[in-house]
Structure 1
Amino acid sequence: MGNMENDVLAGVGGRLRGLRRARGTTLAALATETGLTASTLSRLENGKLRPTLEQLLPLARAHGVPLDDLVAAPPTGDPRIHLRPVRRSGLTIVPLTRRAGGVQAYKVVYPPAGRASTTKRQTHEGYEWFYVLTGKVRFVLGDEEYLLGEGEAAEFDTRVPHWIGSADKRSAELLTLFGPQGERAHLAPRT
């Protein structure tokens, strides 16, 4: 194994442990998420097992970071951020932040009304703030329903049952900030 390869793989274990702890995820939960065993994950984090690409790809996906961040690939000098859209439940989600843990930023594109796979309200830990970039948004929060247009924003505790979707025959694009541990995106002035 060449010296360059040793350098690139040297700190993988520590980075993996740091990312997992920053997300507040257990080895068991990460094992379920990645399909790797908790024992393998522990050995990777402790540096007792040399990582393979087949192990690193699901870990990068689970932690929401580029593969380069895990293996400390030498910087290319390219300042551009390469955004990789993800399709989930009919939505197009573009992660705008690369770090694990803390408040995460996304651009989310909701399909035109009637094309969504579900209007079932969901609940989960966290706090969310969104800003409507284009289109009209139907936002259901608890027993209330709101219609938001371009330039309008909303913030809410995601433990309250909620659903967000396009309100008409056009797609709706939102800028979303989400704090998985319930971090608020900003302090609202008291009224």
Structure 2
Amino acid sequence: MDDLEAVSSERLGRRLRELRTESGMSLRAVARELGISASAVSQIERGTMRPSVSRLIAYVSAIGAPLAAVFDLTGQKEPPPELAVRRAGEVAPIRLGGGVTFRRLSPGPTPDVEFFESTYPPHAVSTAHGQFLKHEGYEVGTVTAGELTIEFESEAVTLAAGDSITFPCSRPHIIGNRSATVTAVATWLIVHG
């Protein structure tokens, strides 16, 4: 990862609150969708609690926003570019619960496609609450460093550097790094529609 500092919890929370407000959903309605207290949603939106990967994805799914919208911290809606170039270090990564970091790789908004890099430090998992995640779309991932294990309800698949996986996001899953010493990095393409 480059030297760009990760988005602060406060800035992430502020952006989530903006997206929720744009969606027209109340804080309590989002809390009901996520199965957590309104106080916990408020803590996420104030930046006093950092969401896990699965909680962040569940949050944006509940409000009907793409995950990529979280990275658009200006709040300005951009049309899909005819040509877009984004240089390394121009988009700050988002650090989530457990130290997992997400970085948007697509240089601009791309309809129905989200392209990310995730970094999982040793023993990091996508969920802090042990619940399987499911969301909209179809996921394609490639591990570029270390190993990641994707747990499904009836099986687990461990991927090493260079290995790829694809599955419908509606299939409940948890992603984690079981290593005690090696950081895992993967790129993910989520296709909607």
| TM-score, length of structure 1 as denominator length | 0.54
Q: Are 2:170 and 1:177 aligned?
A: no
Shift of 1:63: 6.1
Distance verdict in 2 for CA 1:141–1:71, change over 3 Å: closer
1:26-61 Cα offsets, whole Å, 9 max, x none, are x97623389xxxxxxxxxxxxxxxxxxxxxxxx9x8
1:109-143 Cα offsets, whole Å, 9 max, x none, are 11211677344311111110110010111111231
Match of 1:139 among 139, 144, 150: 150
Query: What amino acid is the match of 1:30?
Result: S
User: What corresponds to 1:83 in structure 2?
Assistant: 91
Match of 2:25 among 27, 32, 35: 32
Aligned counterparts, 1:52-131, within 5 A = 62=69, 64-65=71-72, 67=74, 70=77, 80-81=87-88, 82-90=90-98, 91-97=100-106, 98-113=108-123, 117-131=128-142
Match of 1:164 among 175, 179, 182: 175
Distance 2:140 2:166 in 1: 4
Shift of 1:103: 1.0
Shift of 1:64: 3.9
Distance verdict in 2 for CA 1:143–1:71, change over 3 Å: closer
Shift of 1:89: 2.7
Distance 1:88 1:114 in 2: 10
Gaps of 5+ in 1: 1-26, 35-58, 73-77, 184-191
Match of 1:152 among 135, 144, 163: 163
Gaps of 5+ in 2: 1-19, 28-64, 80-84
Contact persistence 1:96–1:107 (CA under 8 A):
yes
Distance 2:164 2:78 in 1: 38
Q: Secondary structure at the match of 2:25?
A: helix
Shift of 1:174: 0.5
Distance 2:132 2:158 in 1: 16
Query: What amino acid is the match of 2:96?
Result: R
Residues matched between the structures, number: 126
Contact persistence 1:111–1:165 (CA under 8 A):
no
Shift of 1:99: 0.2
Distance 1:136 1:152 in 2: 9
C-alpha RMSD of matched pairs (Å): 3.5
Distance 1:174 1:94 in 2: 11
